[in-house]
Amino acid sequence: MRCRKELAGSHELEALRSKRGFLCDMDGVIYHGNRLLAGVPAFVRWLEENGKRYLFLTNGSGRTPLALQQKLSRMGLEVDASKFYTSALATARFLQSQSPGCSAYIIGESGLFNALREAGIAMNDSDPDYVVVGETHNYSYDMIARAVHHVRGGAKLIGTNSDLTDPGEHGIVPACRALIAPIELASERKAYFIGKPNALMMRTGLRMLGVHTSEAVIIGDRMDTDIVGGIETGMDTVLALSGVTDEKHMRSFPYCPQYILNGVGDIAGDNV
């Protein structure tokens, strides 16, 4: 049966506004590239004025929370760095809990390197315990060959997230799952992905907010990460049509979001 959900009405918006905790995706919900989306300042102001607990979750692993804070600041939105939780931080937390003091061969950007370093994970290009792959603009055959060598030698393969593509300034670009695919094929090993829709990241976010699943919602623009991850975690889900998923695309999935909004400004009463 196709999803028959429609845009949230006034009654549904009131139910949504009564929630205590808000986990919110970024790209496609808060901004597109370097452009803040309509209604976002009003939404963040509403969160603050009503004492809501909120956290921005992103599958991106390239930027640190400080870099994300600075990016929003350049767009005119001031948010504390403690309000950001990335797939790089989730990956570091996972490895730290699984194998304290382990080492890793890393393919990624500064956000991933910093997160792993701060978690006490040593960089190792000789005999690492893990090969960790995130998004990067500097990807080479040599990196693939080294990663394959380590994985075939016994290192465990970890991906920061399972996104296949991301929106770029000039169109769709390959994301983490596309980058890790040749390593999987050549090593004949499957990667374990940490970011959304993995419930590990969602549940950590809820613990950071100190709220129960019944008191929280996740807001995202992707059915295959934000929405299914929220459903599997037991949270109410909010699809924002300001990103990659439109209503037609939404109806092709075998599950539905609890709420559908034009954008997060709807929650604050600032119609987008």
> Cβ of 80: how many Cβ atoms within 10 Å?
8
Q: Are residues 125 and 106 in contact, defined by beta-carbon separation less than 8 angstroms?
A: no
Spot the catalytic one: 27, 129, 166, 226: 27
Check if 27 is active-site.
yes
Angstrom distance (rounded) from CA 158 to CA 131: 6
Q: What is the pLDDT of residue 34?
A: 86
**Alpha helices in 153-227, H assignment, sequence order:** 176-187, 199-209
Angstrom distance (rounded) from CA 165 to CA 112: 18
Sheet holding 236-240, edge to edge: 84-86, 53-58, 21-24, 216-220, 236-240, 259-261
Angstrom distance (rounded) from CA 220 to CA 25: 5
Check if 270 is active-site.
no
- The strand pairing partners of 24, in sequence order, are 56, 219
- pLDDT tens, N- to C-terminus, the chain (272 residues): 456 666 767 888 999 999 999 999 998 899 988 889 999 999 999 999 999 999 999 999 999 999 999 999 999 999 999 999 999 999 999 999 999 999 999 999 999 999 999 999 999 999 999 999 999 999 999 999 999 999 999 999 999 999 998 766 667 788 999 999 999 999 999 999 999 999 999 999 999 999 999 999 999 999 999 999 999 999 999 999 988 888 888 999 999 999 999 999 999 985 54
Q: What is the pLDDT of residue 106?
A: 98
